Amino acid sequence: MTQDQVKVELKESDVQKIKTICAEFDNNGGELINVLHKTQNTFGYLPAEVQEVVAQGLNVSVAKVYGVVTFYSYFTMIPKGEHPISLCTGTACYVRGADKVLDELKKVLEIEVGETTADGKFSINCLRCVGACGLAPVVMVGDKTYGRVAPEMIKGILEEYQ
């Protein structure tokens, strides 16, 4: 799934939800990033249609909202998988082989970083240091952390979620 393929039709109730979030922040354009955080927490991601409502709510241009969304790696326009996989690519994990784990993940799931599998089950995301360097390399699936992960373990880990 890529950004262009995501199309959503917002329900009136969704529009209201976004407007309420904007109102919580006094419809103040300076609170754009806080609003985006809260909106992404609500919807899981920030498709174009959602950004448009945010822009209206805060009285800023849609271009600006999009410019901010694409600047920060935390914001995503693609829905995350049912089981989002986060791989730590901090230095400690890297020198202990995180890149090989990532290659294996990409190979097995047939997606790139930042993408979601066609069935919506998994998505891959890279993090910079989760602070578990003692367990490097570290992979998180949802909230569960797997430490000292080797490429051979990937299939087994994914099977837990099939």
Partner 1 sequence: MTKIKLTIDKKEVKVEQGSTLLEAAKKVGIDIPTLCYMHLDDINVNHKPGGCRVCSVEVEGRRNLAPACATEVADGMVIRTNSVRVLNARRTVLSLILSDHPKDCLSCAKSGNCDLQNMAIRFGIRETPYEGCEISRYKEDFSPSIIRDMDKCIVCRRCETMCNDFQTVGALSAINRGFNSVVAPAFQMDLEHSTCTYCGQCVAVCPTGALTEVDHTNKLIRDLANPNKTVIVQTAPAVRAALGECFDLKPGTLVTGKMTAALRELGFNYVFDTDFAADLTIMEEGTEILNRLSKHLAGDKSVKLPILTSCCPGWVNFFEQQFTDLLDVPSTAKSPQQMFGAIAKTYFADKINVKREDLVVVSIMPCLAKKYECQREEFKVDGNPDVDYSISTRELAALIKRANIDFMSLSDEEFDAPMGESTGAGVIFGTTGGVIEAAVRTAYELHTNKKLPKVDFHELRGMQGIRQATIDFDGFPVNIGIAHGLGHARELLEKIQKGESEFHAIEIMACPGGCIGGGGQPLHHADLSILAKRMEAIYKEDGNKVLRKSHENPSIIKLYEEFLGKPMSEKAHHLLHTNYINRSKKVIYIQ
Partner 2 sequence: MAYKMHLLVCGGTGCQASESAALVENLKKELEEQQLDSFAQVVMTGCFGFCEKGPIVKIIPDNTFYTQVSPENAGVIVSEHVAKGRRVDYLLYKNPEDNTPIAESKNMNFYKKQIRIALRNCGIINPENIEEYIARDGYLALGKVFQELGAENTIQVLKDAGLRGRGGAGFPTAIKWELTRKNEADQKYVVCNADEGDPGAFMDRSILEGDPHAVIEAMAINGYCVGATKGLIYIRAEYPLAIQRLKIALNQARNYGLLGNDILGSGFDFDIELRYGAGAFVCGEETALIHSMEGFRGEPTLKPPYPAQSGYLNKPTNVNNVETLANVPVIINKGPEWFNQIGTEKSKGTKVFALAGKVNNVGLIEVPMGITLREVIFEIGGGIKNNKKFKAVQTGGPSGGCLTEKDLDISIDYENLIAAGSMMGSGGMIVMDEDDCMVDVAKYFLDFTVEESCGKCAPCRIGNKRLYELLDKITKGKGTKQDLEILQNLGGVIKDTSLCGLGQSSPNPVLSTMRNFEDEYHAHVHDHKCPSGVCKSLMTYEIIPDNCVGCTACVRVCPVGAITGNKKEVHLISAELCIKCGACMERCKFDAITVN
Considering CB distances under 5 to 8 angstroms, the limit depending on partner class, which of partner 2, partner 1, none binds residue 61?
partner 1
Helices (H), the chain: 12-24, 32-43, 48-58, 62-69, 91-95, 98-109, 154-159
Cα–Cα distance between 118 and 140 in angstroms, integer?
20
- Exposed, middle or buried, 31 (CB in 10 Å: 0-12/13-18/19+)? middle
- Asked if 127 touches partner 2 (CB under 8 A), the answer is yes
- Minimal distance, residue 55 CB to partner 1, in Å: 8
Between CA 150 and CA 133 the distance in angstroms is: 15
Question: How far, CA to CA in Å, does 8 sit from each of 24, 47, 67, 148, 160?
Answer: 24, 7, 20, 39, 30
Residue 161 interface partner, choices partner 2, partner 1, none, CB cut-off 5-8 Å depending on type = none
Question: What part of residues 95-114 is at the interface with partner 2 (CB under 8 A)?
Answer: 95-96
User: Using the rule CB under 8 A, is 65 a contact of partner 1?
Assistant: yes
CB of 111 or CB of 140, closer to partner 2 = 140
Q: For partner 2, give the closer residue by CB, 31 or 49.
A: 31
Residue with tokens 């994914």: 158
Residue 91 partner contact from partner 1, partner 2, none using kind-dependent CB cut-offs of 5 to 8 Å = partner 2
Helix (H/G/I), strand (E/B), else coil: 23 = helix
Binding site for partner 1 (CB under 8 A): 4, 7, 48-49, 51-52, 60-67, 70-71
Binding site for partner 2 (CB under 8 A): 29-34, 36-37, 60, 67-68, 71-75, 89-92, 94-96, 127-136, 138, 145, 147
